[in-house]
A and B are shown apart, each in its own frame.
Chain A
Amino acid sequence: MTKIIKTVGVCGAGGTMGAGIALVAARAGFATVCFDRSGDTLEKAAKQSIGFLDKSVERGKLDATKRDGIVASMVRTTKLEGLADCDLVIEAVFEDLSIKRELLGQLDAVCAEDAIFASNTSTLSITEIASGSKRPERVVGMHFCLPAQLMKLIEMSPGILTSEEVFGAAWQWTETCGQTPVKTQDKPGFILNALLVPFNNDAIRAVEAGVAEPADIDRAIKVGLGYKMGPLELIDLIGLDTQVRLCEAFYPITLDPRAATPPLLRRMVAAGLLGRKSGRGFFAYEGNTMFGA
């Protein structure tokens, strides 16, 4: 029988992704438990979420009564036991296999036998994460896109041992939330990152090879292909250090040379050129304004 989901827990709800996922759940009418070890980050995330909902009201996308209902349906906790009544727990904690495996082991002890555990991992294997739980058949991949409260796409991946019933229930839940799920195998980077990380690296290598200036590379991609953002502008946005971390996650698993960290990227990170957040990456920024593009 398909699991009925009424209460949803989000682990790592103090983070940007976790907070966004919690908003998706609460907005769809689910009682939502926001869990994070840090009470401060939880409070901060809650304020940002309320700010987001307030803006939705201002823009006429949400009425005030509904906003109040959403806020009321979200509870915060720094204790894992607070997730005990959750039918579905979505983890969005740090992208580290041992941390995620350990968390699932702890959730085993707290949550009901028929609870569903979902991982928001973007790079790690669902099957490997699920091996941290004594009930791997109840673990499913559920990768949201940033910002989760705005992006509809969810990459859904069953692990080797995931039961069809669990996958179906999780899939149905994403649709109930108004999201658009797509099914992928449990492979590194699923679809999005498997295509994007090497593509971004190729753009960096083109700069390094002197093929063209960064601005010309981005303009070519935007005008020629109709992309909203060029690859180098995108790397500046996500952070050059983050791109290094993605490469370091991918390359050892895939051994795909395109996924290996480009030497120029390493040198730029060493020089403190991290992209928008440091004021300079492939382009220079002042505040939110971009120069050089």
Chain B
Amino acid sequence: MAARKDLAFSICMVVLSIVLAVQSFRYPADSAFFPRVLSVLLLLLSLLLLFRAFRRPPKEDRTGGIRGNAFSLMKNQPVLVFGSTVLYVVMIPVLGFLVSTALFIFGSILFRDRRKLIVAAIYGICFSAALYFVFHAVLGVTLPRGWLL
């Protein structure tokens, strides 16, 4: 497991370091000494990792946390967290900060625990209002407004 992950990671890093190296060697020498050296170094390290991943027998995964039910997309926490956050940030300019935050918190809690309807509603409203107050009134940050508020 760890070896397979290393394999995938090192291949990605080899590709990335080649991209970075190509970019660095295109820049004029004055501004590129540091990135050139580093991209080559990164490439060497990635190749070393790749070589190691091939050679080392696969062993037990110690790095990962406890896996959720990966077979179900709806229970896949990484997908859920990033997906809902993207949705939330997209909503902000449309609905405004206050409304989208309240909805995001309400939705996130309710989606994971159906029984917490009241908690989700109260917490969603109170927390987003408190945040709005702290950032807008106390700290003077202009928060995005949308159709509603």
**Chains A and B form a bound pair:** no
